Amino acid sequence: VYYDVTNYYFETDTVDDLRKKGASKEHRPNPIVQMGLFIDNLGIPITFELFPGNTNDCLTFRPGLSRIQKEYDLGKIIVVADKGMTTGDNIHYTLSGKHGYVFSMSVRGVDKTFKQYVMDETGYTWYGKEYKRKSRLYPRTIQVTARNGKKLRKVVDEKQVIFYSEKYAKKAKADRDKTIAKAMDIIGSPGKYSRATSFGASGYIKNIHFDKETGEIVSPQKVLKLDAEKIKAEEALDGYYAIVTSEYKASDDHIIDMYRGLWRIEESFRVTKSDLEARPVYVSREEHIHAHFLTCFIALTIARIIEYKLDHKYSIGRILESLSKSECTHMKQNYYLFDYFDDILHDIGRVFQIDFAKRVRSLGEIKKIFAATKKG
């Protein structure tokens, strides 16, 4: 199963117990709500949870996994997630439930010994001229929070897969160049920016501080400097990725293939935000917010099932567009004219036994179709 977190913004400045100011994916100043989503390896949603907008991403993982354990009889599951979930508490919780994990890990955030292993050319196998890979079985020490709040050190036996991609390295450099250019503009004109609008670029600026209330930059312009040492250290690790997993018997190819499946959940978030119009959110009462996202979750699940039954021949956006055009006009008495038909409706009709090609139907026929779908 795959897990990730995103957030949705509200068209308001009002904050409450659920709508909070936080790190918006769109870098907007509006209050947001966090959503944690689990999907299966077919891309079909399993469950979701809502959290206040200021909740750290890594803290959303365990409630959702707990819900899966209690409500679904899935046996052992292997959870695949991005580096935001790679904490000692999440790993320990997963293993305690006798499940497995495939998590990415930031090579910039690992300890010195791990970085040395990443940068050491020994053991790498090149595949072509732009990609190399190596792996090892290694006991890694993690920190786990006890019930009394104390940090305990535990050792997990895991496989660590390291790979380097020239393509990713070039992309990282291009992205950083844009961020550095923005950082230079902040240094030159700090009054133009705030905590929200300087997101990302402020990490490359020394001595930068923000007002806790307004988010405005309070550091004098003359003390702001570009952090050249940090930039140099990051450049050395461009293109390198690390995956850590409990599934140490699995091949490197299988582990990487599992991790690459994360694109499905990223696409699911894109579908909810664009095609299903989950954001911006206009409702304000907490029960209405939950109802809004439950509706979006159900719609996403239905859309994914249709997409799967059509063998992924069409995107969800195209499927929704065709279905929305399948309308009828009242002609006379109890007869209705259906004036739109295309290949997508033909395929949907074939799978779900509905003849979308028929142009004229009586009210009785339409009611029979609805009755049949309810029985199904």
* Burial class of residue 194, CB neighbours in 10 A (0-12, 13-18, 19+): middle
Alpha-carbon torsion angle 308, 309, 313, 315, nearest 10: -50
- The confidence score (pLDDT) of residue 213 equals 85
Q: Exposed e or buried b for every residue in 106-129, given b needs 16+ CB within 10 A?
A: ebeebeeebbebbeeeeeeeeeee
CA–CA dist 225, 356 (Å, integer): 64
CA–CA dist 33, 10 (Å, integer): 8
- The confidence score (pLDDT) of residue 376 equals 58
Q: Residue 52, preceding bond cis, omega within 30 degrees?
A: no
Is residue 304 within 8 A of residue 45, CB to CB? The reply is yes
Q: Is the four-CA dihedral 229, 230, 233, 234 of positive or negative sign?
A: negative
Alpha-carbon torsion angle 17, 18, 23, 26, nearest 10: -140
CA–CA dist 28, 5 (Å, integer): 17
CA–CA dist 32, 7 (Å, integer): 6
Mean pLDDT of the chain: 92
In this structure, the strands spanning 2-9 and 78-81 are parallel
Q: Is the four-CA dihedral 11, 15, 18, 24 of positive or negative sign?
A: positive
Give bridge partners of residue 237 from the DSSP assignment: none
- pLDDT (tens place) for every residue of the chain, 376 residues total: 999 999 999 888 889 989 998 888 887 888 999 999 999 989 999 999 999 999 999 999 999 899 888 888 888 999 999 999 999 999 999 999 999 999 999 998 888 899 999 999 999 999 999 999 999 999 999 999 998 989 999 999 999 999 999 999 999 999 999 999 999 999 999 999 988 888 889 999 999 999 988 889 999 998 999 999 999 989 999 999 999 999 999 999 999 999 999 998 999 999 998 888 888 888 889 999 999 999 999 999 999 999 999 999 999 999 999 999 999 999 988 999 999 999 999 999 999 988 999 999 999 999 998 888 777 5
Is residue 207 within 8 A of residue 225, CB to CB? The reply is yes
Q: Exposed e or buried b for every residue in 165-184, given b needs 16+ CB within 10 A?
A: beebbeebeeebeebbebbe
Is residue 40 within 8 A of residue 300, CB to CB? The reply is no
